[in-house]
């Protein structure tokens, strides 16, 4: 099927045909569970109404691919520690500012007088540093392989321009290591991964080969339009039925096997893989990005002496279980009762890509 333009990927008639074929294909089969790892997929599935249209045998499980949601409590508390220093201007993306830490959020700190600023891109934080040479500007760097190259570029720009009051607190995450960690745990039954198109434009589809071959797990790289997702699910079903576990690319208009070599080179220059703490998943080896020692001056974790942080988690919040695909948001006792987008108790309700927020907005 040659689909090239956005409108074609929203064609209701074509969607109905693919759905009908999918329903016939899986009729009478045992349920198959496919994880949409990425929050952008989760929201796209809800927004398009696909979740309610899928046949009973094709079940979607939401995964840990929302960067705000997976930021560990201790890293939110560290961001708040930065905000409480009078010489520091903290900058980050909007959603992160609302995530509750042990005592407060960055937004609450701002209401108490801290200098916390929302930016849309990391280069804006470099500009703030340029404009305020007497202050320290710390950018809280969150995101997956899609965002990390832009942060790497900001660090390189600051270094090239001799801006010495800008640093990054890197809590970036990498997708393939968390996929392996999920499969290493025995709490989840999965039949395949719907892999995100945007991350894969950077890392290349080859990055999932270890997951597909090593774990016998079908992987299909998919775009974010309704027909992309439907076609991706059909490809996963076909793999499952024929006993294959390959990496396939549905999103051919954006993704190659090799990915984006320039972005990879930039990542390689500025960052190195490091163990990282994930909310609800603990520490996962090699799943984060630390700033290389050559750029240590731009590493907020080295520039400042961050004290030991004692985290107090909200015991009732089930974000960890939601992120591992073990429960759905309505199974959390706080969902819709005290936890709502206006009064979030966990990051999965805060983020525009969070699973709890998507359930809240798109289900009754």
Q: Which residues bind ligand SF4 (CB under 6 A)?
A: 317-319, 322, 329, 332, 334-335, 339, 345-346, 348-349, 356
Q: Are 143 and 151 in contact (CB under 8 A)?
A: yes
Pairing state between β 271-278 and 282-291: antiparallel
Q: What is the DSSP letter of 29?
A: P
The nearer residue to ligand SF4, 158 or 322, going by C-beta atoms, is 322
Of 306, 287, 295, whose CA–CA distance to 271 is shortest?
295
Please, what is the minimum distance in Å from the beta carbon of residue 142 to ligand SF4? 17
Please, what is the minimum distance in Å from the beta carbon of residue 91 to ligand SF4? 24
Please, what is the minimum distance in Å from the beta carbon of residue 131 to ligand SF4? 36
The nearer residue to ligand SF4, 270 or 317, going by C-beta atoms, is 317
The most distant pair of C-alpha atoms in the chain lies apart, rounded to whole Å, by 68
Please, what is the minimum distance in Å from the beta carbon of residue 92 to ligand SF4? 19
The nearer residue to ligand SF4, 232 or 329, going by C-beta atoms, is 329
Packing angle of the helix pair 148-160, 122-131 (nearest 10 deg): 30
Q: Are 183 and 155 in contact (CB under 8 A)?
A: no
Please, what is the minimum distance in Å from the beta carbon of residue 347 to ligand SF4? 7
Complete edge-to-edge strand list for the sheet that includes strand 32-38: 58-65, 32-38, 192-196, 219-222, 247-249
Give the nearest residue (CB) to ligand SF4.
346
The nearer residue to ligand SF4, 289 or 323, going by C-beta atoms, is 323
Residues 6+ apart with CB under 8 A from 322: 62, 280, 328, 329, 332, 348, 355, 356
The nearer residue to ligand SF4, 100 or 204, going by C-beta atoms, is 100
């Amino acid at each position: 099927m040659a689909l090239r333009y956005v409108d074609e990927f929203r064609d209701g008639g074509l969607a109905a045909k693919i759905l009908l074929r999918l329903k016939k294909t899986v009729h009478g089969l045992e349920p198959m569970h496919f994880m949409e790892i990425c929050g952008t997929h989760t929201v796209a599935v809800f927004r398009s109404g696909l979740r309610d249209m899928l046949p009973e045998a094709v079940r979607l499980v939401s995964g840990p691919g929302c960067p705000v949601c997976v930021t560990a409590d201790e890293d939110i508390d560290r961001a708040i520690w930065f905000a409480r220093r009078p010489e520091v201007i903290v900058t980050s993306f909007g959603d992160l500012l609302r995530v509750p830490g042990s005592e407060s959020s960055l937004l609450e700190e701002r209401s108490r007088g801290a200098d916390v600023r929302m930016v849309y891109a990391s280069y804006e934080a470099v500009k703030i540093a340029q404009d305020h040479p007497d202050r320290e500007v710390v950018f809280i760097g969150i995101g997956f392989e899609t965002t990390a190259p832009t942060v790497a570029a900001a660090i390189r720009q600051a270094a090239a321009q001799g801006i010495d009051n800008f640093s990054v607190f890197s809590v970036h995450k990498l997708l393939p290591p968390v996929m392996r960690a999920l499969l290493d745990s025995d709490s989840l039954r999965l039949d395949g991964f719907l892999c995100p198109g945007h991350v894969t434009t950077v890392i290349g589809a080859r990055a999932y080969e270890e997951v597909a071959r090593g774990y016998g797990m079908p992987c299909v790289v998919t775009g974010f339009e309704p027909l992309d997702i439907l076609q991706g699910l059909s490809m996963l079903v076909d793999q499952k039925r024929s006993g294959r576990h390959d990496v396939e690319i549905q999103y051919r208009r954006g993704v190659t096997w090799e990915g984006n070599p320039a972005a990879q080179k930039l990542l390689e220059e500025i960052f190195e893989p490091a163990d990282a703490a994930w909310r609800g998943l603990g520490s996962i080896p090699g799943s984060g990005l630390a700033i290389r020692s050559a750029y240590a001056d731009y590493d907020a974790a080295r520039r400042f002496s961050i004290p030991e942080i004692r985290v107090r988690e909200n015991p009732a919040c089930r974000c960890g279980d939601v992120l591992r695909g073990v429960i759905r948001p309505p199974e959390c006792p706080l969902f819709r009762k005290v936890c709502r987008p206006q009064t979030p108790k966990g990051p999965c309700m805060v983020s525009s890509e969070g699973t709890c927020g998507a359930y809240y907005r798109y289900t009754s």
